[in-house]
Amino acid sequence: MERTCILLKPDALKRRLAGRIIARIEDKGYIIADARMLQLDEAVLREHYSHLADQSFFPDIVKYMVSGPVLAMIVEGENAVEGTRKIIGATRFEDAAAGTIRGDYAFSTRQNLIHGSDSAESAEIEIGRFFARR
Ligand code: IDP
Ligand code: MG
């Protein structure tokens, strides 16, 4: 069993897509082990997206990610990190294949609905980041 950290981003909730996105994750056989609604702030986003801090679009990502609550989830299953990223689809919405969440629902690379951890190590760090504080 592997764990990954999924975030349904503010646009997913504003567009009322949470149920459909979660259904895709569950349909593939993954378990939602925990979930919580969070209002993120700039400090936590500076940690979470530190690999993008030098990009010109970084301030826009922060603005987007604090524009409303996110639904953070711990998702479990065999090969959950890679498997959920396949369901999520490519970062650039133009590259996201039909049948993936971003391929079917995203029309922006920034506002691309969902985050999934990119490795088992990142997953554990992100789970600590979003689920440690109660
Ligand atoms: P990922 O979410 O597919 O793992 P990352 O490269 O980790 O992609 O980027 C994190 C988030 O930053 C993306 O999901 C997207 O919201 C935003 N982002 C990434 N690249 C761009 C870009 O070129 N323009 C605008 N936003 C971007
Ligand atoms: Mg990433």
pLDDT confidence tier of residue 133, bands split at 50, 70 and 90? low
Tell me whether residue 115 is one of the annotated catalytic residues: yes
Closest CA to 35 of 25, 45, 50, 44: 25
Residue 119 to residue 116: CA distance in whole angstroms: 9
How far, in Å, CA of 100 to CA of 53, rounded?
A: 27
- The residue range of the domain holding 55 is 2-131
Residue nearest to atom 11 of ligand 1 (CA): 110
Q: What was the pLDDT predicted at 94? A: 97
Mapped onto helix, strand or coil, the DSSP state of residue 43 is helix
Q: What is the pTM of this model?
A: 0.97
Q: pLDDT tens digit string along 7-45? A: 999 999 999 999 999 999 999 999 999 999 999 999 999
Which residue has its alpha carbon closest to ligand 1 atom 3? 91
pLDDT higher than 70, residue 86: yes
Active site residue: 9, 48, 102, 115, which one?
115
Cβ–ligand 1 distance for 37 under 6 Å, the answer: no
Q: Which residues of 82-111 are buried (b: 16+ CB within 10 A; e: fewer)?
A: ebbbebbbbeebeebeeebbbbbbbeeeeb
Closest by Cα among 49, 67, 60 to 13: 67
Name the residue with the closest Cα to ligand 1, atom 8: 91
How much of the chain, in percent, has pLDDT values that exceed 70? 99
Domain count, the chain: 1
Q: Which CATH number characterizes residue 39's domain?
A: 3.30.70.141
